Amino acid sequence: MADINYQTVFRAFPGPTALLSRDFTILDANEDYLAAVGRERGDLVGRNIFAAFPANTREAADSGADDLRESLESVVATAEIDRMDLIRHDIEVPGKAGVFEERYWACVNAPVIGPDGRPHMIVHRAADATATVRSVLKAQAVSG
């Protein structure tokens, strides 16, 4: 069997995916993830996901950071995959502190089990569902 460079495979993997430590530090992110969040790898790797993507405290409907934290903590505690309901988690506009863009995400968080049988890392897949949500809301407004 040929040697496989798993980092190269991960970075080319389709779908926005990040690899997090047990304390939610971003260890790596694939190209689709970087494109979805509008960031460079160097802006994210080594940062806690909640520092990299703070909550939009000015918008009550944005409960995504709390929902995401609950999901990630569940994955660490149970070593089971957590498929989240659709969440709103706005993203701060790069270079504009305190200015957020409304965003919706479909997230799945999965443990990477270490040799001790406990989650060693978390695979965080975050598909941007913003366009779909906006389309549905627009259709509802037109028909309502």
CATH code (residue 29): 3.30.450.20
25: in domain: yes
Integer Cα distance of 20 and 14 in angstroms: 18
Answer yes or no: are the C-beta atoms of 111 and 81 closer than 8 Å.
yes
1: in domain: no
For 78, the domain range is 6-143
Answer yes or no: are the C-beta atoms of 62 and 56 closer than 8 Å.
yes
130: in domain: yes
Answer yes or no: are the C-beta atoms of 83 and 74 closer than 8 Å.
no
Report the pLDDT value the prediction gives residue 31, as an integer from 0 to 100.
95
38: in domain: yes
Report the pLDDT value the prediction gives residue 144, as an integer from 0 to 100.
63
Collapsing DSSP to helix, strand or coil, 59 comes out as coil
- Cβ atoms within 10 Å of 51's Cβ, excluding its own: 11
Report the pLDDT value the prediction gives residue 136, as an integer from 0 to 100.
86
Quick check: pTM over 0.85? yes
105: in domain: yes
Which of 48, 33, 56, 31 minimizes the C-alpha distance to 108? 33
| Tens-level pLDDT at each residue, the chain (144 residues) | 578 888 888 888 899 999 999 999 999 999 999 999 999 999 999 999 999 999 998 888 778 999 999 999 999 999 999 999 999 999 999 888 889 999 999 999 999 999 999 999 999 999 999 999 988 877 777 776
43: in domain: yes
Task: Give, in order, the Cα–Cα distances in Å from 111 to each of 63, 98, 125.
Answer: 23, 32, 11
120: in domain: yes
Report the pLDDT value the prediction gives residue 1, as an integer from 0 to 100.
58
Integer Cα distance of 49 and 14 in angstroms: 21
Which of 111, 128, 117 minimizes the C-alpha distance to 19? 111
The number of distinct structural domains making up the chain is 1
